[in-house]
Amino acid sequence: MSDTLTLDVIGRRVEVNGEHATVRFAGVVPPVAGPWLGVEWDNPERGKHDGSHEGTVYFKCRHPTGGSFIRPKKVNFGIDFLTAVKNRYVLEDELQEDGKEQTVTIGNKPVETIGFDSIMKQQSQLSKLQEVSLRNCAVSCAGEKGGVAEACPNIRNVDLSKNLLSSWDEVMRIADQLRHLEVLNLSENKLKFPSGSAPLTGTFSALKVLVLNRTGITWAEVLRCAAGCPGLEELYLESNQIFISERPTDVLQTIKLLDLSSNQLIDENQLFLIAHLPRLEQLILSDIGISSIHFPDAGIGCKTSMFPSLQYLVVNDNQISQWSFFNELDKLPSLRALSCLRNPLTKDDKDTQTTRQLIIAKIGQLKTLNKCEILPEERWGAELDYRRAFGNEWKKAGGHQDLDKNRLSEEFLAAHPRYQFLCLKYGAPEDGELKRQPLMLKNQLLTLKIKYPHQLDQKVLEKQLPGSMTIQKVKGLLSRLLKVPVSDLLLSYESPEKPGREIELENDLKSLQFYSVENGDCLLVRW
């Protein structure tokens, strides 16, 4: 840009030597002559001051070292959308080859042209584009009206993250020309969103996915922008310091996935404001600092009316330290998958397999935990272990072999809301069972019988193996013992608690404990 400031540049997004900033001031800064731009850097460590010079405040910054004065000629104000598309997707080599003089007939008159074929090829290339990635391409505006619609009308997926777009209005000018647009990523653009109460409508009629991570958007602005996206299914709002201030009423009703990760101002009371979105299936709440949740409309053993369609919940990197959190999740009627990594209760330095078993036992309808499928055998083992692990506590709290005579304390029921159901499913724990310490309480050595169904002449062995031992290592041990190649061995096991049922140990990377192998069980070895 030249050193003369003729445009209204305040609020514009700019790039200087690879760093992004927002123009906060344009004018003279005495005693140095000539025009200056005062910018606030996205990275405050890049600046030198807070917008003041020799006692005069020219503009304000959020950070004391977030500002700088720069000559206009050193600032890049960006390029328009269509220019960026051409720079990225038009094959320059082909255009140069076609840039030779040609003669074509228009009507009855021969006309000499240069690069006629190159223009046709360029138009053909652009019109076929459906997915466009313009991340960090310095896009700042829509450009000439109608130019985008004419050149590339079939675009459906656009990545405009980390550009120089400064306002939602400019985004709308681009989107208005892309009538088939389904996916739009605007992350890392510091956008000025529209104010006022009038809703926005009609601009994103086909849009299904909108990504607004690190854009500085507020919840009120989210609701206003969502009014222009009647068919929106996925909305990503990571790292925006969002505070959910009101309940969506006429907007976000088609949302299936909502990502609110890294918005540390959100608490469980705010989540209740989005709890009645009718189609919400996936909710991502990683790194929001949440430690508890409670559904006040549902008592022990009942389902909540909140989040009626929620199937997948992500609560990684939070402050969950109480088992009551998972008791509450069992109240969600449609929950099938959960990810809860890196919480105080589930940190890697704890017994991860025991933690996994407890969560499975506490949430009855769960099918996937931390992206790992819960097999029927794993659920069976986890629930039996849970039932036995807390059996003595159950008895002290008023539990009885005859379930009709149970008089359980409120305290026990609150801590173990599924225990009664597990007693109905598997029977009340007997005294003999309670003397056996379950795997979830101690990673003990397992005393196992080893049989060979196809080699009846082989003697039945008894071995002690650690519950953490993988199937692969068990096969290695048996291979050395039997002089049989590891690849030929097939393992399964039987439990006296479930006679007649044989469970295959088919995944070599899983442990005996994963398959709920216990003391007294029998390994069956075939080759």
Q: What is the pLDDT of residue 458?
A: 82
Q: What is the pLDDT of residue 123?
A: 58
Query: CA angle at residue 75 from 73 to 80, to 5 degrees?
Result: 110
Q: What is the pLDDT of residue 516?
A: 81
Residue 275's closest CA among 234, 332, 345? 332
Q: What is the pLDDT of residue 278?
A: 97
- The Cα 339–Cα 370 span in angstroms is 4
pLDDT tens by residue, 267-298: 999 999 999 999 999 999 999 999 999 999 99
Greatest extent of the chain over all pairs of C-alpha atoms, in Å: 104
Residue 423's closest CA among 376, 474, 388? 388
The 3-state DSSP class for residue 526 equals strand
Q: What is the pLDDT of residue 340?
A: 97
- The Cα 200–Cα 194 span in angstroms is 9
Structure tokens at 236: 């990503």
Q: What is the pLDDT of residue 99?
A: 46
Q: What percent of the chain has pLDDT over 90?
A: 67
Residue 518's closest CA among 406, 341, 384? 384
285 residue type, one letter = L
Which regions of the chain are under pLDDT 50? 2, 93-99, 103-108, 111-116, 119, 441-442
- The Cα 367–Cα 353 span in angstroms is 16
The 3-state DSSP class for residue 524 equals strand
Which stretches of 370-471 are assigned E, i.e. beta strand? 372-373, 445-451, 461-466
Q: What is the pLDDT of residue 146?
A: 94
- The Cα 385–Cα 361 span in angstroms is 9
Based on the number of CB atoms within 10 Å of its own CB, is 124 exposed (0-12), middle (13-18) or buried (19 or more)?
A: exposed
Q: What is the pLDDT of residue 96?
A: 46
Domains defined along the chain, listed by start? 7-74 (2.30.30.190), 80-179 (no CATH), 445-526 (3.10.20.90)
The 3-state DSSP class for residue 384 equals helix
Gyration radius of the chain over CA positions: 32
Q: What is the pLDDT of residue 173?
A: 93
